[in-house]
Amino acid sequence: MLKKGWLLATAESCTGGMISAACTDLAGSSAWFERGFVTYSNEAKTELLGVDAGLIKQHGAVSEEVVRAMAQGAVARSRAQVTVAVTGVAGPTGGSRAKPVGTVWFGWSAAGQVTSECMQFEGDRGAVRAATVRHALQRLVQLLG
């Protein structure tokens, strides 16, 4: 990102800012980390990222449609050219048959291209959130590769 002069913004729900924290733990991150949006509630997703409330109602907050809108909203509402967005069910409650605990949707946007992916992680709340942070950043590095 430094070579291209790009900045990163995050849009986080289930991780509550942990991806931003992992990025800013690195010395020198101010050269490439622009901002983080913690949009835990549906209202925050709408107000801060511009995610259409109807999209959330139709597909649920934990969905491909919503995470893609989160990634796009983070670009639109920041100075960043690259974003990573996550929304999921970290547990121990909140899961369903269709979206069990450990279900996480990821969205990445780079240079106008949005990529999304769903993962299913095992373990308790802490394990799901830690795995989400790792996957979000590892895949970001691959996509920028």
pLDDT tens digit sequence for 92-134 = 999 999 999 999 999 999 989 999 999 999 999 999 999 999 9
pLDDT tens digit sequence for 8-66 = 999 999 999 999 999 999 999 999 999 999 999 999 999 999 999 999 999 999 999 99
Amino acid at 66: V
How many Å from the N-terminal Cα to the C-terminal Cα in the chain? 10
Q: Look at residue 111 in the predicted model and tell me its pLDDT.
A: 87
Distances (CA, A) of 7 to 42, 67, 75, 90: 26, 19, 10, 28
Q: Do the Cβ atoms of 109 and 83 come closer than 8 Å? A: yes
Q: Do the Cβ atoms of 19 and 133 come closer than 8 Å? A: yes
pLDDT tens digit sequence for 65-96 = 999 999 999 999 999 999 999 999 999 999 99
Domains of the chain: 8-144 (3.90.950.20)
pLDDT value at 145 more than 90: no
Separation between Cα atoms, residue 38 and residue 56, nearest integer Å: 16
pTM for this entry: 0.97
Separation between Cα atoms, residue 103 and residue 108, nearest integer Å: 17
